[in-house]
Amino acid sequence: MATDYDAPRKTEDDVNEDSIEELKNRRNDKNSGKVDEDEAEAAEAFELPGADLSHEELTVRVLPRQADEFTCASCFLVRHRSQLAETRNGQMYCVDCAG
């Protein structure tokens, strides 16, 4: 019989915990399936210190595509010509997307 050495091994405590009686008790326990708190509510109430950026305005300088750059037809990222892997049907593909 083959042995999976990567599978997690159960300790004696784990074996006792998974007994039929223990599983039946858990099924009958009314609180076993309840979640203590709603994760969405907890995330909304969580604030990072000093993270109030509501009064800030982002200003980003956008440059047009340069002569030595291309836009990949698969991932739509602007890449340098050195990243050009192939051209298919007039469309250029970067080394990450060419396959």
- pLDDT tens-digit map of 51-80: 777 788 888 898 999 999 999 999 999 999
Q: Which pLDDT score is estimated for 6?
A: 80
pLDDT tens digits for range 79-98: 999 999 999 999 999 999 98
Burial status of residue 45 (CB atoms within 10 A of its CB: 0-12, 13-18, 19 or more): exposed
Model confidence, pTM: 0.42
For residues 9-20, average pLDDT: 68
Residues linked to residue 70 through DSSP beta bridges, in sequence order: 79
State the Cα–Cα distance between residues 22 and 13, nearest whole angstrom: 12
CA angle (62 as vertex; 48, 76 as ends), nearest 5? 90
